Amino acid sequence: MLKNVIQNIFKTTSRRIAVPALLTIILYVIAMFILFLPHIEQSFISRKKEMIHELTETVWSLLDNYHERELSGELTRPEAQHRALLRIGNLRYGPEKKDYFWITDMAPRFILHPYRPNIVNKDLKDIRDPSIKSLYLKFNEMVAKKGAGFVDYQWQWKDDPNRISPKLSYIKGFQPWGWIVGTGMYLDDIYAEINAIRNNFMAISTAILGIALMLSIYSIRQSMKADNELMRTAIERKRLNESLKESKERFRSLLENTSDWIWESDEKGRYTYSSPRVEELLGFSSDETMHKTIMDFVPIDLKNLYQETFKNLLGSQKSFKGFETTCQKKNGQHVVVENNAVPVFSKNDGLLGYRGVTRDITDRKMAMEELKKSRDILHANLEETVKSLALAEEKRDPYTAGHQTRVDRLACAIARELGLSDHQIEGLHFAALLHDIGKIALPSEFLSKPTLLSHQEHEIIKCHSKVGYDILKNIHFPWPVAEIVYQHHEYLDGSGYPRNLTDKEILLEAKILTVADIVEAISSHRPYRPSLGMEAALEEIQNGRGIRYHAPSVDACLKLIKDEKMDIS
């Protein structure tokens, strides 16, 4: 009867382990393939739409610039329009540098199309293709109603006139000249990228699912084995408990057969009883341990390490747990043991001694050491991974090679001077190494241009903070690395970019990184200018102290460099 009850209990325990494991796998499949993957695909399409939106806005700003020059009298309207068309007609982007911009007017007619010169400057009535006429009407209707928006249609594939593909464009009207400017993306490209993402994701998810399934099966099997073992142990323990009630001698017999060393001592810790287990643990017989303390088994060179603690534990006359000591076995080997004890008092509350258990924890200590080594290896791998990402960006921009490393050294030195915790400094260290990672997505010709960047080029370069944030935001660092990278060009007065944040909205680590970045950038060579020198760099942060730059960080930086405690060369 007792055996059947215990078996039912442990079978229920196995089910309680198996059911949650299987439900977890099912929920994972639902979350990954029904919720998460469609969300990723939709997010990808949204980013692509946002990209062509921003590119169109950039070209629109270029038209606005020429219009302002027209209004100022610098250029006539035909001159301004001619220059704008020449410049926009040569703009290309995308992996193959074949994506382009086009312009129509409200007549309607095409003013600019790099790959279809046959339809440029032709009136609608002279064009026989009904699809182009319909497209004109779509453009004009969208601009008339909303001023700007997305339009989908069929069009020539880039520079291949023999291939027609579905396309989604963003257009915006330029009212002063009655023009409509736009660019688009080919949906075949988008679907190809989404399929690649989906295939990679499904491969990884399938691998993870397989591992999780195997681990679940293994856990269930081990649980069932453990249940059987526990069942046998429970039955045996029940029998032993029943026999304990019959005889004190049988109780002592049970103690002497346990896996731990059980002992009793007087008030000074000298053993008055020692179970036979001590011989397996230390190599000494029970008789050899009589009237000795645990300190008698500690190596001579380690006695000072434990003596004071042992004395205080006995003096407290309280229970103690987890008192670890290294003991020397009879054969000279060392073993780590854990001592736990409770005090025993007389009827008059006088301390008689202690009853305790000593357990071999050598394997556990070794396992903990291995775990610490594994943690250190993981941390080292994280460090190397981050450095590799930083190096990848520097390979794209060799003129600023070493910039991120120098900024890292200066930023961490400032943080230490300000008294930041080691945890914060470590997060700042990784953010500093990655703060320009977003440049990896920018055109390399902008990064290495030997002359000053144009307004349009500078606006594109400014996107690197947001791109860096997008790259890093889904990596689960134990610090806000992505947000620090996002904010490293923000100033206290709101004049920074990309979000015009002000003092209270900016992280302390980002404020420190900004100061270090400014100093290193001004004092280093750039493709379009030689180094302006350290004096110019320090003058810049002094002039902006408390206005654009974090005052304590500026003061710490000045102190480090003027006291020659920091060299970023």
pLDDT in tens, 466-490: 988 998 888 888 899 999 999 999 9
Exposure b/e, 11-45, CB count within 10 A at least 16 = b: eebbeebbeebeeeeeebeeebeeeebeeebeeeb
User: Residue 548 — pLDDT band, cuts 50, 70, 90?
Assistant: very high
DSSP three-state, residue 337: strand
Q: What is the DSSP string of 227-285?
A: HHHHHHHHHHHHHHHHHHHH-HHHHHHHHHTSSSEEEEEETTS-EEEE-THHHHHHS--
Q: Are strands 160-174 and 351-360 parallel, antiparallel or unpaired?
A: unpaired
Largest CA distance in the chain: 118
Average pLDDT, the chain: 81
- What pLDDT was estimated at residue 186? 80
Give the model's pLDDT for residue 401. 55
- Over range 315-326, report the average pLDDT: 89
Query: Between these two residues, 439 and 348, which has the higher pLDDT value?
Result: 348
Range 444-450 average pLDDT: 62
Q: If phi over 0 gives left and psi between -120 and 50 gives alpha, with beta otherwise, what is residue 113?
A: beta
Q: Is the pLDDT of residue 196 over 70?
A: yes
Closest CA to 428 of 442, 443, 407: 407
Does pLDDT of 9 surpass 60?
Answer: no
Q: What is the mean pLDDT of residues 137-161?
A: 81
Enter the tokens of residue 355: 């009853």
pLDDT, tens only, 396-410 = 566 555 788 888 889
pLDDT of residue 424: 93
566 confidence band (pLDDT: 50, 70, 90): low
Lowest-confidence segment of 150-154, 320-324, 339-343 by average pLDDT = 150-154
- CA dist 104 → 84, 155, 197 (Å): 13, 15, 36
pLDDT surpasses 90 at 270: yes
Its pTM stands at 0.41
How far apart are alpha carbons 245 and 498 in whole angstroms?
A: 78
Cα separation of the two ends of the chain: 82
With residue 319 as reference, give the H or E element that holds it. Answer: none
Q: Which domains does the chain possess? A: 51-193 (3.30.450.20), 257-360 (3.30.450.20), 374-562 (1.10.3210.10)
pLDDT of residue 549: 94
Average pLDDT over residues 493-504: 93
CB 286, CB 256: distance < 8 Å: no
pLDDT bin (cut points 50, 70, 90) of residue 72 is very high
pLDDT at residue 535 tops 80: yes
pLDDT at 400: 56
Which of 251-265, 354-368, 372-386 bottoms out in mean pLDDT, i.e. has the lowest?
A: 372-386
User: Cα–Cα distance between 224 and 384 in angstroms, integer?
Assistant: 42
Pick the more confident residue, 212 or 187. 187
